[in-house]
Structure 1
């Protein structure tokens, strides 16, 4: 099993539509750790750590998000030497 950590910045109508909580639910279903956090500029920052295939699947889901979200852009960066958190949090 190959593991990795990535940081995603999700742009669009992603605040006030349960995006962070839905991302947490998706992450927990896939056994991933990390966090989802609202940013002052209206984006959501997401860090995902765990099995590479599960991380990839969830980064694809970020383009859709929950019902009510309208994602216009997702930027992904791989986090080398990032210490994976032991849970998934929302801020």
Structure 2
């Protein structure tokens, strides 16, 4: 198994878990690494600057690695804050 294949597999699992924790609808990732690397920018709920960083990466392997690190960062942040995901129906109203 190549490095790109290993990262692709890890990223696919990480994004599925990420979306499930947030109550987001499942979305089937592309099977090819290049498609997956671009799909990740849409599948993750990234800030525009993070999405741009991901999409501007020089090659597929780099994009996959950046996306995986972003998912891991978000997961670690959730764990440290004790975030359990979104509430059904969206966030509470501030009114």
User: TM-score per shorter chain, which class?
Assistant: 0.3 to 0.5
Structure whose residues are more often helix by fraction: 2
Indicate the structure (1 or 2) with the bigger Cα radius of gyration: 2
Q: Which has the higher contact order (CA 8 A, sep 6+)?
A: 1
Structure whose residues are more often strand by fraction: 1
